[in-house]
A and B are shown apart, each in its own frame.
Chain A
């Protein structure tokens, strides 16, 4: 059996599917932990989202979210889980490059690389 046969489309599907599942369940778990702490502490305070204030600056950057997570604040942990969620499709594209290359489908390895580049460009330059 050649390398080409051992890494076929079916395996690629299972690989990408498992990656998505792992990413989404992991981020869901982190959000759930954050939700538990947040609801326990602030569950009975009133909500007001009528006025847009924007998130505080520390919720707009990765470093800020990490600092809040270390402090074990519920909202910070939720935001960390959301960052993992956003990273899941990006990781999917990145790992597809590897998958297509192993399948010796170089055309699609290049296609996936182009998508990853556009994606990273829009994430970094926004």
Chain B
């Protein structure tokens, strides 16, 4: 395969990754890593470096639109980033001491279970829960554009969300990918944040989590310009497209896409954990 052919194939695959990443708030590493390693025979370390680039590109590309249009909640994102960045630091330090395989196996099972749970829409009572004291003090309650105009929402269970975000950060430090999945689940399931706000705020946050570990990957020589170039350009195009679709998409449909991608990610993690290919 020549450089030109390789670049075109990777660019096309990355377009899909960016599109799905922007729609689900997951960042696209779930598509990039298997495409590069299984399909194109790229060494896993280069693939992880490229996946990091794809996460930052998806995040910044799509978040630009989501923030301007009032979907991402900057305060929620900013506050939870304290936990994710600290978690990422702890995870990266632990990486040399713990078995990545065991963690990937457990995480894979959690994701497959969550894929099933995340299909369930929120009940009416949950949606109309009164404002939580801590969330109100932290000015997290907000609104977002809905079909029938602006929809208000109240954030719940901030401490639980914060703890899960710490775990999300630690997992991304340990495993390289998968932090977007935990972020969406923490906001959607624990904090009861509307699904579109959860995925777009996750999208807003994953760039920062990825940037935190970018220094490590760069200094280890994982980021190759020949691989990262088609990944970045493809992902960027895909994420801009995905951002346009999300704004109009029905939540039921978005949940379905999210659950399929998350189960696929879970299987990927399980495979990694059991085969020891991390």
Contacts and interface: CB of A to CB of B under 8 A. Distances in A.
Contacts of B222: 54-55
A89 B4 contact: no
B132 interface: no
A126 B73 CA distance: 30
Interface string B45-86: 110000001001101110111111010001100110110011
Q: Looking at chain A's contact residues, is the secondary structure mostly helix, strand, loop, or mixed?
A: helix
Contacts of B89: 118, 121-122
A63 to B, nearest CB: 13
A38 B231 CA distance: 15
Contacts of A121: 89
B225 A79 contact: yes
Contacts of B138: 107
Interface residues of A, number: 67
Interface in A1-48: 9-10, 12-14, 16-18, 20-21, 23-24, 27-28, 31-32, 34-35, 38-39, 42-47
A50 B224 CA distance: 13
A66 interface: no
Contacts of B67: 13, 16-17, 20
Interface string B81-95: 110011011001000
A126 B219 contact: yes
Contacts of B86: 118
Contacts of B226: 38, 47, 49, 75, 78
Interface centre among A32, A49, A59, A114, by most chain B C-beta atoms within 10 angstroms, is: A49
4 smallest A-B Cβ distances: which pairs? A54-B221, A17-B68, A55-B221, A89-B207
10 contacts: A9-B74, A14-B68, A20-B61, A21-B64, A28-B233, A49-B42, A75-B225, A82-B53, A85-B232, A119-B208
Interface of A: 9-10, 12-14, 16-18, 20-21, 23-24, 27-28, 31-32, 34-35, 38-39, 42-47, 49-56, 59-61, 74-76, 78-79, 81-82, 85-90, 92-93, 96, 105, 107-108, 111-112, 114-115, 118-119, 121-124, 126
